[in-house]
Amino acid sequence: MPKRKDRVAPPPPKDGWDFRYATSDAVKGWEQICSAATANARVAWEKITSNPKNRDSRQHPLKGTLAYRSVGGVEMEQWQYEVTAGGRIWHCIDENKKIIWMVDASVGLPKATE
């Protein structure tokens, strides 16, 4: 079972983005998303790791108090990917290390947006 700071498999391509779990909640949430929407989870992984700052109908930066988040003591932009109608992946982008940190994943809307 993966844990915090582990890679969200598979490994990145050469010069690609590494995708890692920032929290244990992200690990659990990702497993739930993969079980509930396998094909959508794969597309989400591919889109996030190929271009984490691509703005489209499913991927965009969060706003207001959710726009930034500290991961490992580093303040980063926080983005959202809409996996399904309710399912979300929140991720932060460390451009210096080319690491995307999955901070939350859920099959329903994240609690912070309630």
Residues of the chain whose pLDDT is less than 50? none
Return the pLDDT at 59: 97
Return the pLDDT at 81: 97
Return the pLDDT at 63: 95
Distance CA(108)–CA(114), nearest Å, equals: 11
Return the pLDDT at 94: 97
In-domain check, residue 26? yes
42-48: list long-range contacts, CB under 8 Å, 24+ apart.
44/81, 44/83, 44/89, 45/8, 45/19, 47/81, 48/17, 48/19, 48/81, 48/89, 48/91, 48/100
CATH code of the domain covering residue 32: 3.30.2310.20
In-domain check, residue 9? no
Domain with 43, as residue range(s), is 18-107
In-domain check, residue 11? no
In-domain check, residue 53? yes
Q: Count how many domains the chain has.
A: 1
Return the pLDDT at 13: 77
Q: Which amino acid is at 92?
A: C
In-domain check, residue 3? no
Beta-sheet strands, E only, within the chain: 18-21, 59-61, 68-71, 74-82, 88-94, 99-106
- pTM metric for this prediction: 0.89
Under DSSP, is residue 54 helix (H, G, I), strand (E, B) or coil?
coil
The residue count of the chain comes to 114
In-domain check, residue 44? yes
Return the pLDDT at 2: 82
